[in-house]
A and B are shown apart, each in its own frame.
Chain A
């Protein structure tokens, strides 16, 4: 009798260990009924066949109705603005867009969208997708192929943001906003930013140091690739099926970062910094340089900040022997294959990317517009002092690898780079290990 109770109790309590995993997966069964085999040519890598294709003319007079636009928590107010401006303009014609806000965390937004798509739900007709999710969503056939629409107006965008929706030879969304990192420098310590990363680290050693995001998370992947790409490094080869990460250029870039920590140009604590800690360090006034996204320009200029009015921003410098680079952030609007009104969805995406609203975005919400002309307007230049630098930063920036297994690729990079920064492994070993892990990620079923 006692033994029976024991087994039962053990079963019941340990069941808890499984519940979380099982709940997350319950919706996946609907999309995975076909078993066996799996040797079709499409599983090889970069082809997506049989996706629904958008008809560009469908946005001219779509059926009347309401669609839902999903995005992360509207912290800037831009989401509410785009929806209300669209509704104002088109209410008379019977079109309406409703804003659905997801949590602020990017992981949560991705999870929420995935769950809806797996359930074939039309909760989100249009979704504001982070630039790194496009390939994954496209390969699952959750997105309309937008190539015919994008081809009509390809030249109006800054080229780099458009690359973030480019996967398997097709365009899977319309750029909404972009973002790129700046090098923040102290105007009270020097007049011009150094021209190369090497010079930045040399200067930093004398001027209090440089702070950046070195904690093991997506931010570190960006921070590292900014140097790696500038040095001439790559992540994937041109076929997109093999790692090209293990290169002398990437090792050189990592060596510079590791040496920076060793000789005090960067504090050892950067290995635990995400954006908030970086801002905290920068506003303490101790450091000479910071790498951060555009938001920090305004966010770090508060009355409690010890660097208020004492800094400027510059596009990221070049790597000696290489060139200039950067990593693109931002969001794209993608259209769900489960929408009942693709025409209206496209009309909304088109409105978001229109010159008028793009200017509003930059002017009112300090979000990086994806249309270059926006930056040269005189009122923009007045309101956003760093507008020319931002446009330059966007032009030199590159997209992160576009791949359905991007999360694994990014983990391989940030975990190993973090190990090297913390001094646990040599830069060469870290790059090699990351490259091996990228290759095994690419061979995921």
Chain B
């Protein structure tokens, strides 16, 4: 409908336009600033990183570089350290996002109910999200440092949490869930609030139970919001850096794709290899986000049609 009316509007005044700038050119000019901006902030770094990843830059001799083809990629992919980081990142992503989704959904449903102190609850729930990740990491480090952290005191144990596998990774997952479940809740709450109340009333009249209303109305209509939240969180999780960097320095089974790329690029200044690792992360992130939109996005349509 809207599209049609716009076309009509355009068709009624072709004469006036033709005297000034042609419509097509005008369109290009109006889009140009944002395209240039995207090119600067998104396209350039991507192309530049790919360019870097196809070269080798000498760490020992000033100014020496050479074409490397895909050698940086084959070096990264044949390194067990890369595969270990890949595995840790995957485990971290799957477990933390799943927990965040469940807890976030619960939080959102609680916050959505009308009751006294609702505003206070919403504020309190959001506090962890407002804390900087590095501060979160330092906080959790203090809690779990052995043997003086309060966790050991409370549990009466002497466990070296951050120095053992798989405890270290579990703590990183918990810290991430603590920090980002509220973010998940916020996005889902926004989705909940746009579901019209009449649908529930109609369902009640038809005799639907609470569970039926949740499973048949809330969840399907919430799917788009959940999908957005999932994409955000998954992509963030795949790039996890600060928590392992501060909590464990990437040791004890907590190295991730980002910590090893940072180490190669920034610490060791092996720019080609570091860039190749970053590009690999980029490709993984792209595949994941694309399949989300492709497969889960399709499901939404199916559910909505039902």
A residues whose Cβ falls under 8 Å from a Cβ of B: 2-3, 5-7, 9-26, 28, 31-38, 40, 42-43, 45, 107, 111, 114, 136, 139-142, 215-217, 267-269, 271-272, 277, 280-281, 284, 404-405, 407-408, 411, 415, 418-419, 422, 424, 444-445
A21 B265 Cβ-Cβ under 8 A: yes
B289 A10 Cβ-Cβ under 8 A: yes
* Chain A residues closer than 8 Å to B282, beta-carbon distance: 14-15, 17-18
Q: Is B160 an interface residue (CB 8 A)?
A: yes
* Chain B residues closer than 8 Å to A111, beta-carbon distance: 266
Q: Is B59 an interface residue (CB 8 A)?
A: yes
From residue A266, how far is it (CB to closest CB) to chain B in Å? 12
Nearest CB to that of B279 among chain A residues?
Answer: A18
* Chain A residues closer than 8 Å to B74, beta-carbon distance: none
Q: Which of B240-297 contact A (CB under 8 A)?
A: 248-252, 261-263, 265-271, 274-275, 278-279, 281-283, 285-286, 289-290, 293-294, 297
B66 A277 Cβ-Cβ under 8 A: no
Nearest CB to that of B48 among chain A residues?
Answer: A22
A14 B63 Cβ-Cβ under 8 A: no
* Chain A residues closer than 8 Å to B62, beta-carbon distance: 31, 139-142
* Chain B residues closer than 8 Å to A12, beta-carbon distance: 42
B61 A139 Cβ-Cβ under 8 A: yes
From residue B162, how far is it (CB to closest CB) to chain A in Å? 5
In angstroms, Cα B239 to Cα A49, docked, is: 41
* Chain A residues closer than 8 Å to B289, beta-carbon distance: 9-10, 13-14
* Chain B residues closer than 8 Å to A24, beta-carbon distance: 265-266
Interface residues on B, range: 35 or more
B279 A38 Cβ-Cβ under 8 A: no
Q: Which of B1-55 contact A (CB under 8 A)?
A: 41-42, 44-46, 48-49, 52, 55
B63 A33 Cβ-Cβ under 8 A: yes
B residues whose Cβ falls under 8 Å from a Cβ of A: 41-42, 44-46, 48-49, 52, 55-67, 145-148, 158, 160, 162-165, 231, 235, 238-239, 248-252, 261-263, 265-271, 274-275, 278-279, 281-283, 285-286, 289-290, 293-294, 297
From residue B186, how far is it (CB to closest CB) to chain A in Å? 18
A32 B63 Cβ-Cβ under 8 A: yes
* Chain B residues closer than 8 Å to A28, beta-carbon distance: 52, 57, 271
In angstroms, Cα B59 to Cα A114, docked, is: 12
* Chain A residues closer than 8 Å to B263, beta-carbon distance: 411
Nearest CB to that of B285 among chain A residues?
Answer: A14
Nearest CB to that of B250 among chain A residues?
Answer: A216
From residue A420, how far is it (CB to closest CB) to chain B in Å? 12
A21 B57 Cβ-Cβ under 8 A: no
* Chain B residues closer than 8 Å to A40, beta-carbon distance: 61, 64
A25 B268 Cβ-Cβ under 8 A: no
